[in-house]
A and B are shown apart, each in its own frame.
Chain A
Amino acid sequence: MARITLDHLAHAYKPNPKGPRDYALKEINHVWSQGGAYALLGPSGCGKTTLLNIISGLVRPTRGRILFDDRDVTDLPTESRNIAQVFQFPVVYDTMTVRENLAFPLKNRHVPKERTAQRVEEIARLLDLTSVLDRKASNLTADMKQKISLGRGLVRPDVAAILFDEPLTVIDPHLKWQLRSTLKEIHRALDITMIYVTHDQTEALTFADKVVVMHDGAVVQTGTPDELFERPAHTFVGHFIGSPGMNILPCKVEGATAYLGSEALSLHRHYRSLGRTEQVELGIRPEFVQLQPKGAGLPARVRRIDDIGRARIARVEMNGRMLAASVPEELSVSGEEASLRFDPRHIHIYADGHLVAGEALGGQAA
């Protein structure tokens, strides 16, 4: 069990890196608390696996240090770091029983037999594997094998951290629900630092207390799921979190008014000069844009309505740009002409991709 400190960490795969472009992982400073549940979230190529490999010791960073509590482990190999890992595909010994598979990491470290047996029973119970403990792993489904892999990762009580690399990719949707909530319960029960890498926002947001969103080798925001949803610090976070993601529209801002083409929108915050900003954009999530009948707001044309089961999402065109809006349950949509209502409390202004705080109107606190 450990606090993990990333101290001026950066990594380049090519020798003699010069500019930031040469770095697969740009400088990162971060402290992960003992016992926390963290997710590294981002698309392929964002650097999340590089970061995980640095933590596990598979990759030595070009610059900076990594500390487990106060111990510098930067130069330690994986096996000396006292961590457990769970990968995308199951790692199990087919010739062993489930019980032997789960016991293996403990047996390797000469944990007394009685304690091993006790721990194996406990983990099997948490993962609902008790009924198959004495079966050979070879005859089990891919889902079951991945559960065993999870169990092997969780079985050692003394690890500094457990690292998960896309552990639910091969799992069917229904079992995913069950395993996600199981992992969360286990995290609470075991008090071990867990780091979970994924490109799937639902997995990241539901598993982690803090989500680290990565883009292009850099951390663009670290926050709780509601912070990432309510106040994306960067347009990338707005786009990447949420389904569909945030609508991002080029605009002009003067004081507390935003101009989208010829339409003016009153804002709840006041923005002083945005400086030498190249690009000013307005961000608003589809949840806060409501489709309304023609004439009730900003004019728009409905291109399509998606029925996603528990809600409807309208794909609309406004000033030549597509955006997504929520459709109120009682609204029946006919024809193309409609309008949009933006909830001003949920409008954010971005300058060159970065959130501009602005000042609350009427002396209210932010």
Chain B
Amino acid sequence: MTLVLESVSKKVGASVHIDDVSLTLERGSLNVLLGATLSGKTSLMRLMAGLDVPTSGRVLVDGKDVTGLPVQRRSVAMVYQQFINYPSLSVYENIASPLRVARLSASEIEARVREAARLLQLELYLDRKPLNLSGGQQQRTAIARALVKRADLVLLDEPLANLDYKLREELREELPRIFAASGAVFVYATTEPSEALLLGGNTATLFEGRITQFGPTPEVYRRPQNLVTARVFSDPPLNTLTIRKTGALVSLSTGGQVRATDVLASVPDGDYTVGFRAHHLTLEPSGSDQIAIPASVSVAEITGSESFLHLDAGEHRFVSLVPGVRRLEPGTAVTAYLDPRHLLLFDPTGRLAAASTAQKAA
């Protein structure tokens, strides 16, 4: 099926939860809703599911208007952040429960439960009760139950948020494969940019109830069309500074002037916000045209393979991600280098004015 939201808004009292969202989700697609807590991810999913009715706008399934049609009469499955299973039923019966409600034949139920259990690696645990399983296995059970229904629309609301880091990593690797095998429209909400990148598919970035961009995930990451999207889709947080371009010279809000090269040469004179990600701010220049920024180390965080350096440069606080272990004491003066091939330039209204060539290649 194809799910279309047409100028959908949801207001509760005076507050706007969803603000004029239009979106087309194709059959067999994986769609990530990426945004901070309270950005509208859950509200939007509830509208898609039919759990809530929009204040204005229409919801279409395969061209048919289903706005106002309750969730019971739609083909929807949901998975929540909290692991929701029936504690008194075995894993097998938990997965089978929607099929029993739908009065499917015993052989059909058996076949579907076995298939879902195989996909989610639950075959060894089918006789157990959910509470005797690890959190990861409990959430797999909930996902399996959502899959056996073969619903047209599967909504997953931060399904991995309550899991241990490593388990999250494992399930995250498996999910795209499981989704690809299904053919439903999947919608997956998360607060984490890295999760969106690993899942792939399409990403819609959400901010204050609005969708700020929707497209193939790597493209939204590399070519955010506005500053808000770039911020939502950056972890570590997006670094920004402001510049004024006058002819061949560019003055930086961190102090100093540089020659306009690469993307800086391509835009008309004026004021811009420059956005760049942590791994494009380094301590060694990777070319002769690098922009040097004097800074002082505020904190160095070492992960063992990489170091996150929090740098103060004038009024700015930047995060730099560099390979290897860099044990730098707070207060150490350093020169940080910014690669002009990895810049995003936004105009004063926050719209993307230009992106460096290296940003274009996905």
Contact call A142/B304, Cβ cutoff below 8 A: no
Contact with A along B87-100 (1 / 0, CB 8 A): 00000000000000
Contact call B164/A185, Cβ cutoff below 8 A: no
Q: In chain A between 151 and 206, which residues have their CB closer than 8 angstroms to a CB of chain B?
A: 172-174, 177-178, 180-181, 184-185, 188, 199-202, 205-206
Assess A306 versus B303: contact at CB under 8 Å? Given A44-B164, A172-B36, A181-B310: no
| A289 nearest CB across to chain B (Å) | 13
Which of these binds chain A: B113-121, B186-194, B242-250, B267-275?
B186-194
Contact call B303/A225, Cβ cutoff below 8 A: yes
Q: Is B150 an interface residue, CB under 8 A from the partner?
A: no
Contact call A43/B166, Cβ cutoff below 8 A: yes
Q: What count of chain B residues pass the 8 Å CB interface test? A: 40
Q: Is B214 an interface residue, CB under 8 A from the partner?
A: no
Of chain B, the residue at the smallest CB distance from A322 is B173
Q: Is B104 an interface residue, CB under 8 A from the partner?
A: no
Instruction: Name the residue in A177, A285, A309 with the highest tally of chain B Cβ atoms < 10 Å from its Cβ.
Output: A309
Q: How far apart are the CA atoms of A306 and B303 in the complex, in Å?
A: 21
Contact call B279/A310, Cβ cutoff below 8 A: yes
> Which of these, A185, A202, A227, A308, contacts B330 with CB under 8 Å?
A185
Q: Is A242 an interface residue, CB under 8 A from the partner?
A: yes
Q: In chain A between 309 and 365, which residues have their CB closer than 8 angstroms to a CB of chain B?
A: 309-310, 315
Contact call B237/A174, Cβ cutoff below 8 A: yes
Contact call A226/B298, Cβ cutoff below 8 A: no
Q: List 25 A-B contacts (CB under 8 A).
A: A43-B166, A44-B134, A45-B134, A142-B37, A174-B231, A174-B237, A177-B236, A181-B298, A181-B310, A188-B330, A199-B165, A205-B302, A224-B302, A226-B325, A229-B303, A242-B304, A243-B169, A285-B305, A307-B197, A307-B200, A307-B218, A308-B197, A308-B198, A309-B193, A309-B197
Q: In chain B between 242 and 301, which residues have their CB closer than 8 angstroms to a CB of chain A?
A: 277, 279, 298-299, 301
- For B198, the chain A residues whose CB sits under 8 A away are 306, 308
Give the A-binding residues of B (Cβ under 8 A).
36-38, 134-135, 164-167, 169, 173, 191-194, 197-198, 200, 218, 221, 231, 235-237, 277, 279, 298-299, 301-305, 308, 310, 319, 321, 325, 330, 362
Q: Is A241 an interface residue, CB under 8 A from the partner?
A: yes
Main secondary structure of the interface of B (DSSP, over half): mixed
| B34 nearest CB across to chain A (Å) | 10
> Which of these, B38, B164, B235, contacts A43 with CB under 8 Å?
B164
| A219 nearest CB across to chain B (Å) | 18
Contact call A244/B191, Cβ cutoff below 8 A: no
Q: How far apart are the CA atoms of A225 and B305 in the complex, in Å?
A: 8
Assess A173 versus B299: contact at CB under 8 Å? Given A44-B164, A188-B330, A309-B197: no
Q: How far apart are the CA atoms of A240 and B167 in the complex, in Å?
A: 10
> Which of these, A43, A143, A181, A315, contacts B167 with CB under 8 Å?
A43
Q: How far apart are the CA atoms of A188 and B301 in the complex, in Å?
A: 13
Contact call B164/A173, Cβ cutoff below 8 A: no
- For A240, the chain B residues whose CB sits under 8 A away are 166
Of chain A, the residue at the smallest CB distance from B277 is A310
Of chain A, the residue at the smallest CB distance from B231 is A174
> Which of these, A181, A227, A243, A310, contacts B299 with CB under 8 Å?
A181
Q: Is A287 an interface residue, CB under 8 A from the partner?
A: yes
Contact call B164/A184, Cβ cutoff below 8 A: no
- For B193, the chain A residues whose CB sits under 8 A away are 173, 309
Contact call B235/A174, Cβ cutoff below 8 A: yes
Assess A225 versus B304: contact at CB under 8 Å? Given A142-B37, A172-B191, A309-B193: yes
- For A45, the chain B residues whose CB sits under 8 A away are 134
- For B194, the chain A residues whose CB sits under 8 A away are 308-309
Of chain B, the residue at the smallest CB distance from A143 is B37
Contact call B279/A177, Cβ cutoff below 8 A: no
- For A199, the chain B residues whose CB sits under 8 A away are 164-166
Inter-chain residue pair count (beta carbon < 8 A): 96
Q: Is A134 an interface residue, CB under 8 A from the partner?
A: no
Q: Is A230 an interface residue, CB under 8 A from the partner?
A: yes
| B303 nearest CB across to chain A (Å) | 4
Of chain B, the residue at the smallest CB distance from A189 is B330
| A344 nearest CB across to chain B (Å) | 18
- For B304, the chain A residues whose CB sits under 8 A away are 205, 225-230, 241-242
- For A244, the chain B residues whose CB sits under 8 A away are 169
Q: How far apart are the CA atoms of A71 and B308 in the complex, in Å?
A: 38
- For B303, the chain A residues whose CB sits under 8 A away are 201-202, 205-206, 225, 229
- For A185, the chain B residues whose CB sits under 8 A away are 298-299, 330
Instruction: Name the residue in B191, B194, B303 with the highest tally of chain A Cβ atoms < 10 Å from its Cβ.
Output: B303
| A245 nearest CB across to chain B (Å) | 8
| A322 nearest CB across to chain B (Å) | 10
| B357 nearest CB across to chain A (Å) | 15
| B17 nearest CB across to chain A (Å) | 16
Q: In chain A between 210 and 226, which residues have their CB closer than 8 angstroms to a CB of chain B?
A: 224-226
> Which of these, A43, A200, A225, A241, contacts B302 with CB under 8 Å?
A225
| B355 nearest CB across to chain A (Å) | 15
Contact call A173/B169, Cβ cutoff below 8 A: no
- For A307, the chain B residues whose CB sits under 8 A away are 197, 200, 218, 362
Contact call A310/B321, Cβ cutoff below 8 A: yes
| B192 nearest CB across to chain A (Å) | 6
Q: How far apart are the CA atoms of A178 and B318 in the complex, in Å?
A: 11
Q: How far apart are the CA atoms of A173 and B218 in the complex, in Å?
A: 19
Instruction: Name the residue in A177, A178, A230, A285 with the highest tally of chain B Cβ atoms < 10 Å from its Cβ.
Output: A177
Contact call B305/A206, Cβ cutoff below 8 A: no
- For A173, the chain B residues whose CB sits under 8 A away are 36, 191-193, 235
Of chain B, the residue at the smallest CB distance from A44 is B164
- For A188, the chain B residues whose CB sits under 8 A away are 330
- For A205, the chain B residues whose CB sits under 8 A away are 301-304
Q: How far apart are the CA atoms of A206 and B303 in the complex, in Å?
A: 6
Q: How far apart are the CA atoms of A275 and B169 in the complex, in Å?
A: 35
Of chain A, the residue at the smallest CB distance from B362 is A307
Contact with B along A255-283 (1 / 0, CB 8 A): 00000000000000000000000000000
